Amino acid sequence: MDLVELVRQAGVVGAGGAGFPTHVKLNAEAEYLIINAAECEPLLQTDQFLMRERTAELIGGILLAKRQIKATKAVIAVKGKYAQEVACLKETITRLEADVEIHDLQNFYPAGDEQMTVFEVTGRSVPPGGIPLNVGCVVSNVMTMINVFEASQNIPVTDKYVSVLGEVREPRLIKVPLGTPFEACLEAAGGTTISNFCIIRGGPMMGGVVSQEQLSGMTIGKTDGALIVIPADHYLVTRATETETQIINRARACIQCGFCTEQCPRYLIGHPLHPHKMMKAVKYAEEINESHQEALLCCGCGVCEMYSCPMGISPRKVNFYIANKLREKGIRYQHDGSEIIARDGREFRKVPPARLISRLDLNDYDHQTLHEYREVAMDEVFVSLRQHIGAPSQAVVSVGDQVAKGQLIGATPEGQLGSMIHASLAGRVVSVDERQVVIARG
């Protein structure tokens, strides 16, 4: 069986992003395989742990993927400030005589946005509305490459490494079976230190906020990598829970200073994205049409909203608002074919993480170093059938079935983009619906 099929059957999806099925990415040819090891969102430490502790599997997966896509170069893009991790990578690369390079990324946000990573490594700008493959690159991340290596050994994706930090008693890195409730993850980190809290699912810049009321029923999926507990009245919660009316009303206070555009990472690599112009569209209630299509180029990094804007406005959410209107009208981005040239001064407009952490009011948690690691055993898991981009998987087990860990429980619908789902616990299926499969130990 070839690697693409092994990866498909193992249910490997992009472990750090939206969960794009990896077998589709690997079914291509490219000059570069780039591993995004920037872990640029503030506070997260999961990839750093994996680079230290699972280095051989990581390099093994990279070599397999490199051969699969016929890449001439495999490059790990990692921040030079992760000295210990870089040392582990170099030692393993030398020991395995692996033809893998390390690219020393500067410490800025969002170094891990895949188009930024491509630009940093190759100097090439992905065309607006395009994908890295358009400039000869396939980009993947650390955990995905480890999963590719395991897939080559017929080991499917059943577990996830998660950073749990913030307002918890024992901030730590945990490994949990897929389908573990968030509450169990918090318990594994000693429980919360405050009674009125919210959780950031993912990074503080691009992750979603989960309130205590929403917590019940939330479980770990293939794309989760961090849970950060913060007070319910934290600045990040306030910003994340603004209503559309509040966002639009605030946009009317825009002073057209242009800072949002001048620091927009996508604008800086040459894309025709000018968030300040989108603010005008809302401010003057323009009819949304093709002339606003650049809103579709926004990657949602949040630099404009959480760092640049002196007025506390949300250009990112205004972009999303406009993009939704465009999609409703069936308008897609059409690039006019003009040459894409990175803007002068890009180097000087990169966002330093330390200042970003201050702006986000996260200094209290910046000192939390996750040296402690724990594997969490569960007696019951709630495995979602939608942990990826594409069609939800369809359950292939029934209530009462005994399943082994790693057994297929959800399959991709015939002819559709999707991913296989496997049992993360050996036990008995106690519930099945179109949303999830519940498995109890024993």
Applying CB under 6 A, which residues contact ligand SF4? 254-260, 264-266, 273, 275-276, 279, 298-304, 308-309, 311, 313, 315-316, 319
Which SS3 state, helix, strand or coil, does residue 300 take?
coil
Positive or negative: CA dihedral 302, 136, 64, 221: positive
The nearest distance, CB 21 to ligand SF4, in angstroms, is 25
The nearest distance, CB 181 to ligand SF4, in angstroms, is 31
In angstroms, the CA 392 to CA 169 distance is: 36
What phi and psi values does residue 173 have, to the nearest 5 degrees? -95, 130
Which is closer to ligand SF4, CB of 235 or CB of 394? 235
- Token readout for 93 is 């690369």
256 conformational bin, left if phi > 0, alpha if psi -120 to 50, beta if neither:
left
Which is closer to ligand SF4, CB of 30 or CB of 360? 360
Which is closer to ligand SF4, CB of 16 or CB of 315? 315
The nearest distance, CB 82 to ligand SF4, in angstroms, is 24
Which is closer to ligand SF4, CB of 261 or CB of 424? 261
Inter-residue contact 387 to 179 (CB < 8 Å): no
Instruction: Classify residue 328 by burial, with Cβ atoms within 10 Å: 0-12, 13-18, 19+.
Output: exposed
The nearest distance, CB 347 to ligand SF4, in angstroms, is 17
Inter-residue contact 9 to 152 (CB < 8 Å): no
- Token readout for 416 is 């559709």
The nearest distance, CB 272 to ligand SF4, in angstroms, is 12
Q: How far is CA 109 from CA 117, 182, 204, 307, in A?
A: 11, 27, 12, 10
The nearest distance, CB 292 to ligand SF4, in angstroms, is 13
Which is closer to ligand SF4, CB of 88 or CB of 313? 313
Cα–Cα nearest to 320, from 295, 303, 302: 295
The nearest distance, CB 268 to ligand SF4, in angstroms, is 9
The nearest distance, CB 39 to ligand SF4, in angstroms, is 18
Which is closer to ligand SF4, CB of 146 or CB of 273? 273
Rounded to a whole number of angstroms, the CA Rg of the chain reads: 22
Cα–Cα nearest to 380, from 422, 434, 425, 433: 425
The nearest distance, CB 128 to ligand SF4, in angstroms, is 11
Which is closer to ligand SF4, CB of 124 or CB of 274? 274
Cα angle, residue 185 at apex, residues 182 and 188 outer, rounded to 5°: 155
Q: How far is CA 156 from CA 108, 149, 222, 406, 415, in A?
A: 34, 10, 12, 6, 21
Which is closer to ligand SF4, CB of 189 or CB of 301? 301
In angstroms, the CA 182 to CA 195 distance is: 16
Inter-residue contact 250 to 185 (CB < 8 Å): no
DSSP per-residue codes, 385-438: S--SSSSPPEE---TT-EE-TT-EEEEPPTTSS---EE-SSSEEEEEE-SSEEE
The nearest distance, CB 210 to ligand SF4, in angstroms, is 21
The nearest distance, CB 251 to ligand SF4, in angstroms, is 7
In angstroms, the CA 275 to CA 301 distance is: 12
Which is closer to ligand SF4, CB of 257 or CB of 377? 257
Inter-residue contact 314 to 238 (CB < 8 Å): no
In angstroms, the CA 219 to CA 103 distance is: 35
Which is closer to ligand SF4, CB of 35 or CB of 279? 279
The nearest distance, CB 271 to ligand SF4, in angstroms, is 8
Which is closer to ligand SF4, CB of 85 or CB of 294? 294
Which is closer to ligand SF4, CB of 196 or CB of 256? 256
